[in-house]
Amino acid sequence: MKNSEKSREIKLNYLARVEGEGSFYVKIKDHEVMESQLKIFEPPRFFEGFLQGRSFREAPDITARICGICPVAYQMSSVHALEKICGYQATTTLNELRRLLYCGEWIESHALHTFMLHVPDFLGYPDAIAMAKDHKDWVEKALYLKKAGNDIVNILGGREIHPINVKVGGFYRYPHPSEFKNLKERLEKAQEIAHDAAHWMATLEFPDFEFDYEFIALRNDQEYPMNHGRIVSNKGLSIEAEVYEDRFTEQQQPYSTTLHTWLDGDKTVFTGPLARFNHNFEQLSSSARSLAEDIGLVPVCKNPFKSLLVRMIEIFYACEEALRLLDQYEYPGEIKDQVEPKSGIGRAATEAPRGILFHRYQIDEKGIIQNARIVAPTSHNQHVIEEDLRRLVIQFEDLSDELLTERCEQAVRNYDPCISCSTHFLKVKIERE
Amino acid sequence: MNVNSNILIIGIGNEWCGDDAFGIYAVKKLQKKYTDLAQFLMISGDLSQLLSLWEHKEKVIIVDAAHSLTNSAGHVYEFDSYHELLSHESVFYSSHSFGVAEVLRMAATIGREPRFLKLIGVEGSNWQKGQQISEAVKVAFSRVERIVLHYLQDVPTSTTRKTYQ
């Protein structure tokens, strides 16, 4: 780190608690940001290439391997896109089971991120292990919550990591209701923990930092979105996934191996829990809305640091929703139906824990994948993260280099970026001239 | 067939990153040879769930690749205690890579350590994406197998570290 009267350089060589490998660089001169770059240098992973020439039936299992924390999202976007091509209509039971599986993933992913990755920032701990010495009770509760999510994924997905029970057209095996027997009690307790945790987290100090973002999320008339909905924004966007590629484009940046996604060529978008919450508050259950209001969280929330609170609301809601879905689950028995392939192109977007995940596939009449395109939530958020950091270093310029660097890391974690999903960790360097 | 559910053998690694795959490779082989000896688990992602998965297990064995920069590929490390691992200063974790050392540190902090734990590490040399496990690392399997079988017969309680070359 170095400082002079007009220039300042802050360098952080390793930003922990984000996924993947990258760095951040910002150059400040005379109180203006001259450059800000989120540099991603993790090698590309070529999953779209792996998919070419494989059977469409393999897509849910191959794409699940892209991410160890949100495999369900990859499975869901792939099956929806492929079923559109084949003209397959999911039954109500299937749609509800897919929603239940998504609830499991939201619970486990959000529980890990909020308690283990993000809360230590707000409490001034270097990591969750240091935090656990003073807040053992909350860490225990976080593990309980996470286990509730894992249990759903385990029962319905076949195993906790990289589930294997999802197929185009449904599930390979439908669980008997008796398999869910112990889950209800765990989810009820998990919902209570999420309620208490939301109140606790609301007492944390949130930086005064707001911006007029273009929030993008799915929205539909029936439910808080997971698997279905139009892609909407607060600035006029309302499209089906079919025309996503007409509006969203990806561009290579010379300093990054991740493609940056833009709306209409040059518009920066914000996806993830905060965007979902702002667009779909009315679709939450009355108890989830009440909890949000009780902790002072109402739409439109423009402070990205409060994504922490939104994630707790979403955990609370996902527990409640999972309980509802379990209550009305009717065992369909063994289903041997198989979706038959048709040639064509299919597109779908679903709500991964980190935001919109878009998939597009082209398959031939035998179901062989000709090409595929996958746009992860972090690709959508790459540019808004860079812009937040630009704004942040100016707004908090009076902070010491050390504190400013910490604030920047915290801001990056607002987005829970999965750099490996988008290709792919973060070194932060702030240079002041 | 009755699987011994009191024992959990965990292989950790990334099958697509050269020698990092050793833990998965070794535990798959152990499972094939000794199916009912224990529960077997292969993990390539988030390890924080180990804190829950090893609850109520009598014995836990973890097999993982190691990177010391001091020993040659295929060198086998055997830890019967957390102490050396926990002495490491650095902590790096993410949604996906809450690593073995971090899980053990967290377990020790909140009192969730398994009663008996054996950690076996095998020194790797090639960590490139898309590469196979090195032959020098693969041959360490027989030593790993011997350590596992010996441990399951006679749970060591010493806190000494042994190395095999």
d(CA A26, CA A414): 18
Mean pLDDT of chain A: 88
Q: What was the pLDDT predicted at A429?
A: 58
Beta-carbon contacts of residue A421 (< 8 Å; ≥ 6 apart): A19, A20, A66, A67, A70, A354, A376, A377, A378
Q: What's the residue count for chain B?
A: 165
pLDDT band at A34; cut points 50, 70, 90: confident
Q: What was the pLDDT predicted at A170?
A: 95
**Residue A248 identity:** F
d(CA A217, CA A232): 6
Given a contact cutoff of 8 angstroms between Cβ atoms, the answer to whether A277 and A299 are in contact is yes
Phi, psi of A193 (to 5 degrees): -60, -45
Phi, psi of A334 (to 5 degrees): -85, 130
Q: What was the pLDDT predicted at A103?
A: 98
Mark A29-60 as b/e (b = at least 16 C-beta within 10 Å). Answer: eeeebeebbbbbbbeebeebebbeebebbbbb
Average pLDDT for residues A86-101, to the nearest whole number?
96
CB contact under 8 A, A68 and B91: no
Contacts of B51 in chain A (CB under 8 A): 143
Phi, psi of A157 (to 5 degrees): -95, -10
Chain B nearest-CA residue for A42: B129
Q: What was the pLDDT predicted at A43?
A: 53
Least confident of A36-50, A88-102, B147-161: B147-161
B110 touches chain A (CB under 8 A): yes
Say whether domain A50-208+304-379 belongs to CATH 3.40.50.970. Answer: no
A117 touches chain B (CB under 8 A): yes
Residue A302 CB burial class (10 angstroms; 0-12, 13-18, ≥19): middle
A166 preceded by cis ω (within 30°)? no
Beta-carbon contacts of residue A336 (< 8 Å; ≥ 6 apart): none
d(CA A50, CA A59): 10
pLDDT band at A69; cut points 50, 70, 90: confident
Please report the DSSP string for A231-289 in residue order.
EEETTS-EE-GGGHHHHEEEE--TT-SSPEEEETTTB--EESHHHHHHHHGGGS-HHHH
15-74 in chain B: CB under 8 A from chain A: 43-46, 48-49, 51-52
Mean pLDDT of chain B: 80
Model confidence over B63-83: pLDDT tens digits? 998 887 778 899 998 887 666
42-61 in chain A: CB under 8 A from chain B: 43, 45
The DSSP H or E segment spanning A391 is: helix A377-395
**Is the pLDDT score of B157 beyond 60?**
no
**Is the pLDDT score of A296 beyond 90?**
yes
Highest mean pLDDT among A9-23, A177-191, B67-81, B98-112: A177-191
What is the percentage of chain A residues whose pLDDT exceeds 70? 89
CB contact under 8 A, B106 and A19: no
**Is the pLDDT score of B159 beyond 60?**
no
Model confidence over B116-130: pLDDT tens digits? 888 898 998 888 766
Residue of B95, B105, B106 lying closest to A117 (CB–CB): B95
**Is the pLDDT score of B92 beyond 60?**
no
What CATH class does B7-70+87-164 carry? alpha beta
Given a contact cutoff of 8 angstroms between Cβ atoms, the answer to whether A59 and A168 are in contact is yes
Model confidence over B43-66: pLDDT tens digits? 876 778 788 888 888 899 999 988
CB contact under 8 A, B94 and A19: yes
Choose between B47 and A380: higher pLDDT. Answer: A380
- Identify the residue among A13, A40, A108, A129 best suited for mutation to test binding to B, counting B beta carbons within 10 A and taking the highest: A129
**Is the pLDDT score of B108 beyond 90?**
no
Model confidence over A335-353: pLDDT tens digits? 877 899 999 999 999 999 9
Chain B nearest-CA residue for A137: B110
CB contact under 8 A, A43 and B129: yes
Highest mean pLDDT among A17-21, A229-233, A392-396: A229-233
Q: What was the pLDDT predicted at A358?
A: 96
Phi, psi of A54 (to 5 degrees): -95, 160
Report which of A34, A11, A8, A26 is spatially closest to residue A432, judged by C-alpha positions.
Answer: A8
Q: What was the pLDDT predicted at B163?
A: 44
Average pLDDT for residues A47-52, to the nearest whole number?
87
Q: What was the pLDDT predicted at B86?
A: 61
CB contact under 8 A, A418 and B51: no
Q: What was the pLDDT predicted at A106?
A: 97
Average pLDDT for residues A32-48, to the nearest whole number?
71
pLDDT band at B102; cut points 50, 70, 90: confident
B87 touches chain A (CB under 8 A): no
The DSSP H or E segment spanning A13 is: strand A8-15
What is the percentage of chain B residues whose pLDDT exceeds 70? 78
**Is the pLDDT score of B162 beyond 90?**
no
Given a contact cutoff of 8 angstroms between Cβ atoms, the answer to whether B122 and B68 are in contact is no
**Is the pLDDT score of A293 beyond 80?**
yes
Tokens standing for residue A370: 């000709």
**Residue A379 identity:** S
CB contact under 8 A, B93 and A143: no
Highest mean pLDDT among A182-186, A399-403, B111-115, B157-161: A182-186
Q: Measured at the alpha carbon of residue A56, what is the angle toward residues A51 and A59, in degrees to the nearest 5?
A: 55
In sequence order, the β-bridge partners of residue A270 are A215
Average pLDDT for residues A378-397, to the nearest whole number?
90
Domain boundaries, chain B: 7-70+87-164
d(CA A232, CA A356): 11
B159 touches chain A (CB under 8 A): no
CB contact under 8 A, A129 and B105: yes
